[in-house]
Chains A and B, each alone.
Chain A
Amino acid sequence: MYDIASIYQATSVADAIRALQADPGAILIAGGTDVLIKIREGKLAGCALVSIHELGEELGGITLADNGDVEIGPLSTFRDVTYSPVIRQYIPVLGEATDMAGGPQLRAAGTIGGNVCNGITSADSASTLMALDAVLVVRGPAGERKVPIARWYKGVGKVDLAHDELLVKLVIPRENYAGFTGHYIKYAQRSAMDIATLGVSCLVKLSGDKQTAEAVKLAFGVAGPVPMRAPAAEAAVSGLPIEAAIENIGPAALQDVNPRTSWRASREFRLQLVEELSGRALREAARKGGAGV
């Protein structure tokens, strides 16, 4: 039994914003796979909920815009993302990442918007969205604003979203995915139903002859308090022959990350994973792009 004071079913995005404005303590709930756990743990016990669960028409759907940008409705579940023809055709790495969250039940309920808005460093979609430089469209009483994902995360569990604002769209600009292939490695203690000890997402754009890594993007989850890019590693290996890039990206990434020791895993262990898995992710990404590595 969950200790919930009230739940309001919003009828539209505007209605949800009004409801949030009316109750400064209200909690927004979509798929519920994070919020319900917090209620059960007592952290949000007795809370008032504003549900956007039924706003699929406004907040669902994954489409290719006229300009080639991929637009993802935040209410899309992990499963929706994974099985979206648009994602499969244009950004398969994102669908592969969302397919690694939890188990089948969670992926059918949890949403990509929730995954981004809860601000957790281990979120399975987050490192790939970081590597893709996703743009988050946020709507509040004053209208819409766009936030590059690089400026989204403010701290553990904190994102650039006011109480009365809603994430209404995730945009992957065409230039950020076109020509790139990617690979996401979720390193966890077991093969399903787990949270990442380290998440590594790597995108690579190969030269025409598939010999050179012209551009490399590398992002991590759980390598720091929030999902992060690895600019030093990217700079160090972009333009290198692909084998050299694979060899160098891991050691270079150690300059970018700052994992902590917790009871889940030590800093040293996570650093070893960063070093080892960065190269593995780049190798797989390059293979998908046709490199013979």
Chain B
Amino acid sequence: MIALALPAATNESEGFVPPTIDDLHLPEILPWGAHYGEGFGKQMLLVLLSVALISWFLVAASRRRQMVPGKFQFLGEFSYNFVRNSVGKDLIGEKDFRPYVPVLVSLFFFILVNNLFGSIPLLQLPTTSHVGTSYALAGIVYILWIVLGIRTHGIGYFKVAVVPSGVPKAFLLPVVLIEIVSNFVVRPLTHSLRLFATMLAGHMIIALAASGSAFLLTQTSGIVPALGVLTMAGGVGMYLFEIFIQVLQAYVFVLLTAVYIQGSISEAH
């Protein structure tokens, strides 16, 4: 699997060829749905795997509950409580955060597991490094907060969302234009691209370090292979840093979801 992900970089005549974005698009497993552009690939398989893993984990963690939780129950309760209290309760507000806890928790677990696939040996591909996954997730959230806003304010929500209070009449037009672009265009774009770009970049860095050290260790002579050890050590360091980034990005995605929900259900802008 790792050999599949690494490019055939090491041919003698051209020297070192760094991995490109295309190397992340592994060959499809099944041609199912291929006439829509892309077949059933590794990323889709990983999404299905993640759903199975998360359901198994949550069911197993909540079965046989005890007053003094075991390790497994503790892990489940800790992560659930983390999302519920420090994201939902603190950001949406004590009064009306309850209906949104399920969506926050499932988003968090889904993104967390799909990001961590990038750091599990043999799987070694974050699903969210494919932009389709991130677009779908951010699209769900986009529709969610627009619908919530319309449900709270009626159709006047669009006025609440783009006309800030206390702006002089003369500046109203440019401010409203900026608000429209920043709320309805840039917001969902950055929401999805943040997740996608960090995962892609992290994966590319590790692929670059791995193929670079493979090239330095096997294809060079003299003192140069010693540099391969350095790039390998750097690659391992980035690998550990990447685990931190993967958890952080899942947190940031859910945090922003809570902020957007709060923005559309609160009374004034």
Same complex origin of A and B: no
| Contacts from A to B (Cβ < 8 Å) | none
Q: Measuring CB to CB, which residues of chain B are less than 8 angstroms from any residue of chain A?
A: none
